[in-house]
Amino acid sequence: MFCYAVTENSKPLVRIELPTPEPTGSQVLVRVTHCGVCHSDLHLWEGGYDLGGGKRLSLKDRGVSLPIVMGHEILGVVARLGPDAKGAGLKEGTPYAVFPWLGCGSCPECLAEEDNMCRVKPNALGVYNPGGYGEYVLVPHPRHLVDISGLDPAVAATYSCSGITVWSAIAKVMPMAPDDPIVLVGAGGLGLNAVAVLRARGHRAIIVVDIAEGKRKAATEAGASAVVDGAGDPSEVARRITEAAGGPVGAVIDLVNGSATARAGFEALRKGGKLILVGLFGGELALPLPLVPTRALTVRGSYVGNPKELRDLVRLAKEGRVAPLPVRTRPLADINAVLDDLLGGRVVGRVVVEHPGG
């Protein structure tokens, strides 16, 4: 099978050939038709994460080795079934969203369909195993496939990462009254999907923070009740947030998660407020520790989502309650140009690459 792979960090992806997997047991071989290009792919491409203080986490330290066939917002059709998957009701020609955040498959978390929280062995597609920038992906079990019939496949591809990532993060601040402001930091693919999910859940007070005017405009068009310029000193950004909200806020979901954005979000919280850290921009956060208990604040991470959340999101989308994310499609052969646009901040919403014959 053909793949576009990272063969050298920060260098253009190279088209290579890999053996096409043969499914065994409960495995399903999926022919990829669409794949979203996510900002976290840039970290994989660059080879690591900024931990702040001059420290960096290398992907090699996480067991990720080159070549990497990236792409985790995967959508495709069934190509072949392992013998134990043939009674699962999967249909040839039906489009399926692929849950990519795989674990070992046998620990308590995986058996509870919380694969993303596996403590034994992460096996994510597009990270540890070939992902959607290749012709095929090997899925371990039919439960990792969700029928998206009736939905725009390019939009539905984004649900496997940006969709369930914001779904899971939002769940960590709920319940909140519909007019109690929730702040979203970042108006990229995650932020715009978060606006759509909050509106689908009946939330009305949605404040979006971004440094780019074009992205703030996209957030307003998506249904944000207010937007805030995220440029400048964190304390000044926090002041703008509280001004837009009419006071300190109960929830900030930081979809960027850099040193400056996290600090601004923390300073904008009211007593009992929650700061949910999602993005992987990098850096570190120094906190005034006495304020955390005396103001009963929560600082919590949220890592992607699970198959149950993907099914819930797709069900809501099929009911017509989730507004589609702005998506632009490009041929898979343009992947290096797409990554360059993403790195340069020139992408509004999501770019989804289409495979030949998809």
- Whether the predicted pLDDT of 358 surpasses 80: no
User: Tens digits of per-residue pLDDT, 126-153?
Assistant: 999 999 999 999 999 999 999 999 999 9
- Say if residues 85 and 27 touch (Cβ distance below 8 Å): yes
Q: What pLDDT score does 206 carry?
A: 98
User: Tens digits of per-residue pLDDT, 193-227?
Assistant: 999 999 999 999 999 999 999 999 999 999 999 99
Q: Tell the burial category of 170 from Cβ atoms under 10 Å away from its Cβ (0-12, 13-18, 19+).
A: buried
Q: How far apart are CA 308 and CA 146, in angstroms?
A: 10
Q: What pLDDT score does 61 carry?
A: 81
* Half-sphere exposure for 53 (CA within 13 Å, toward CB): 5
Q: What is the mean pLDDT of the chain?
A: 96
Q: How far apart are CA 116 and CA 288, in angstroms?
A: 31
Q: How far apart are CA 240 and CA 230, in angstroms?
A: 9
- Whether the predicted pLDDT of 60 surpasses 90: no
- Say if residues 146 and 158 touch (Cβ distance below 8 Å): no
The matching CATH number, chosen from 3.40.50.720, 3.20.20.220, 2.60.40.1120, 3.90.850.10, for 163-301 is 3.40.50.720
Q: Which residue has the tokens 């780019």?
A: 212
Residue 267's identity, in one-letter code, is E
Which residues, in sequence order, are bridge partners of residue 302? Answer: none
- Whether the predicted pLDDT of 284 surpasses 80: yes
Checking phi first, is residue 346 left (phi over 0); if not, alpha (psi -120 to 50) or beta?
alpha
CA-wise closest residue to 15 among 135, 153, 111: 135
For the CA atoms of the chain, what is the radius of gyration? 20
Residue 294's identity, in one-letter code, is T
Q: Which residue has the tokens 């979901």?
A: 253
Q: What pLDDT score does 242 carry?
A: 98
Which residues, in sequence order, are bridge partners of residue 327? Answer: 350
In the chain, domain spans: 2-160+305-354, 163-301
Q: How far apart are CA 21 and CA 2, in angstroms?
A: 12
* Residue 102: DSSP 8-state: -
Q: How far apart are CA 304 and CA 185, in angstroms?
A: 16
- Whether the predicted pLDDT of 162 surpasses 80: yes
Confidence band for 307, pLDDT divided at 50, 70 and 90:
very high
- Say if residues 226 and 210 touch (Cβ distance below 8 Å): no
CATH dotted code for 2-160+305-354: 3.90.180.10
CA 79 remoteness from chain centre: 26
- Whether the predicted pLDDT of 92 surpasses 90: no
Q: How far apart are CA 353 and CA 333, in angstroms?
A: 8
CA distances in angstroms from 324 to 74, 158, 241, listed in the order given: 17, 10, 26
Q: Which residue has the tokens 């071989």?
A: 29
Q: What pLDDT score does 53 carry?
A: 87
For the residues of 42-62, what is the DSSP string, one character each? HHHHHTEEEEETTEEEEGGGG
* Residue 333: DSSP 8-state: G
